Amino acid sequence: MEFKINAVASQTDTQVNFDKTLKLNKISFNNNQLNIGLGDNAPTAKMLKKLAITLAQTANKFNLSALFLPTLAVDDFVGIMTQAIANNDYQVQKVDLDIPEVNILQSVTFADGKQDGIDKGMAIASGMALTRMLGDMPSNVCTPTYLAETAQGLAKKFGLKCEILEEADMSALGMGSLLSVSKGSIEAPKLISLSYTGNGAAKPIVLVGKGVTFDSGGISLKPGAGMDEMKYDMCGAAGVLGTMHAVAEMKLKVNLTIVVPTVENMPAHNASKPGDVVTSMSGKTIEILNTDAEGRLILCDALTYVVKFNPEVVIDTATLTGAVIVALGKHHCGVMANDQDLADDLIAAGKTALDTAWQLPLDDEYDELLKSNFADMGNIGGREAGTVTAACFLSHFTKDYRWAHIDIAGTAWISGAKKGATGRPVPLLTQYIMNQIVRR
């Protein structure tokens, strides 16, 4: 099989370096055309994604303006390759209050058209670009107010319904758990809901994204090393906003609502202290044993709030625990659910989208670790099974609907010289939503 790139550049007979793991048997640049031979390798989605990244990198190196790719029998392959090419061209943004467009090649063309696959790949890449941009922004720019303004911008762009609850609104609803996190910061908390209607009066899929725009740990202060990366503690929020962007851009026949509880967690004279007891919107009381376990405190009130949307299913996504990185590293998201079919559907969608997830248990026995002498439950369960006990905590607020929790603490961003947000789990969530439409 041979891949060809039509080029504007005038270079000839230039040899190109490539990723040896692709097992390509030929790659050369001649007569304005890049030729890549795959030999007898049967293409897989994972291999084609790597190839697409190689193509994009090569195109950038030689200032090529167009890609012409061969016929691919599977639409998913076209979407995966288009998404990978566009996502590769994303550039980390300097501080800029404007949402940037995705920076891509001028054209990507497949020999047999495959426009549906291209459109799908581009929409997901656009959602990932928004997610990455929000994640990479410094926390003095990307505040709860900025996330609310971003949601309002999406509502205007795509004709969505947007509602922003302010601190007084949340207080009136009894969201004492959420407000216990925000009260130590001068940044006002927000509860954002954004709804897309593409399927009449059908029950919506509801996505909830944790939006802690900076997590100092509060009174339970985090170590200083690497604390700058705590601006990424809102990547759950960024991920559901990016998913909404992708779904609305594709005009999918689905009803989708996203809910974003967003706060800043800071130490202050009035901040919550270990040992404080607060009352959640559900009426359950919580002993705050560690103020750095704040994500579950804002999510539990949001998970109670979403009942008002009469959801078909609820999926929350959050950079919730460091323990998930110990368990799964940087490759898989962690999935826990009160419905096995839902967990299976998310894992299957992740495999298709190459944005993979692995299921962890959610057994009643873990609840023993959350017991408190002074409240209905504590907000941590000790060192054992930290990812699972965090999900068990959330499960107490999700009894009225099918629910899954996705812990993205290991996958939402990368550290080191190439530090930046990844755009995950936009591909997984978008693929899950598309799969549900097909199954109807």
Which residues are part of the catalytic machinery? 222, 296
DSSP string, 280-332: -TTS-EEE-S-TT--HHHHHHHHHHHGGGG--SEEEEEE---THHHHHHTTT-
The two tokens of residue 344 are 């299976």
Non-local CB neighbours of 113 within 8 Å, separated by 6+ positions: none
State whether residue 162 is helix, strand or coil: strand
Q: How far apart are the first and last CA of the chain?
A: 36
| Phi, psi dihedral angles at 392 (to 5 degrees) | -60, -40
DSSP 257-276: EEEEEEEEE---TTS--TT-
In DSSP terms, 190 is beta-bridged to 262
- Of 379, 348, 378, 384, give the one whose Cα is nearest residue 363: 384
- By CB atoms closer than 10 A (0-12, 13-18, 19+), residue 35 is middle
Among residues 124, 284, 268, the alpha carbon closest in space to that of 182 is found at: 268
From CA 373, how far away is CA 376, in angstroms rounded? 8
